[in-house]
Chains A and B, each alone.
Chain A
Amino acid sequence: DQQVKQNSPSLSVQEGRISILNCDYTNSMFDYFLWYKKYPAEGPTFLISISSIKDKNEDGRFTVFLNKSAKHLSLHIVPSQPGDSAVYFCAATDQGAQKLVFGQGTRLTINP
């Protein structure tokens, strides 16, 4: 039961270019979405979130876009930096839940 899917297990981007990570969800009750970044041997760290009442949220180099009709969200990183190399997890939750549902993660590698 994969309610949150990240179909790209890996992505390689050149330093300075845009990184676009994608996430799809199936549960129409989800109304709050988050992106977490994870380095090896560390726990996930929060990056950015978006509520379903918005279609875009921006924080510095990071922008999350939400397309509710397509049940799709994406994370844009501009410009990409070597320190952005990590695994990125998309997560979702709904009003009544006390849990995050995570996707499988996308390993982003930024090449110099």
Chain B
Amino acid sequence: EPEVTQTPSHQVTQMGQEVILRCVPISNHLYFYWYRQILGQKVEFLVSFYNNEISEKSEIFDDQFSVERPDGSNFTLKIRSTKLEDSAMYFCASSVDRVHTGELFFGEGSRLTVL
């Protein structure tokens, strides 16, 4: 069964360092997303991406964050200068169609720990 894969599964970094989280969405999916979950809290939307551009982003997704689809398969989230409060589980998701008409398929997540 096709699945969304994410790397790394866990990354520990120092505050102020740049981090890149990688995702390989399901191959025929056209819509891509990043969500995060701070420990014990709800899953929060960060950004959605379609047709090589951001289609929607949350207040969390400030200038420190960026997304890219550098080739036909990868979808990356970059945090330029990490803060302690960026520590969370980051989930990549993809879907065939818009959120409103279909389900999102989530990866297993990348745990980011900022020290």
Contact = CB atoms under 8 A, between A and B. Distances in A.
Q: Does A pair with B?
A: yes
Nearest to B46: A99
18 contacts: A34-B103, A41-B109, A42-B108, A42-B109, A43-B4, A43-B91, A44-B91, A45-B106, A89-B42, A97-B99, A98-B55, A98-B56, A98-B98, A98-B99, A99-B48, A99-B56, A99-B99, A105-B42
A101 B103 CA distance: 13
Nearest 8 A-B pairs (CB), nearest first?
Answer: A43-B106, A46-B103, A98-B48, A98-B56, A99-B45, A102-B43, A104-B42, A98-B55
Q: Which label, helix, strand, loop or mixed, suits the secondary structure of the A interface?
A: loop
Contacts of A63: none
B104 interface: yes
Contacts of B98: 98
Interface of B: 4, 31, 33, 35, 41-45, 48, 50, 55-56, 58, 91, 93, 98-100, 103-109
Select the residue from B43, B58, B104 with max chain A CB neighbours within 10 A. B43
A101 B91 contact: no
B45 A43 contact: no
Given A95-B100, A98-B98, A43 B42 contact: no
Contacts of A34: 103
B58 A93 contact: no
Nearest to A100: B99
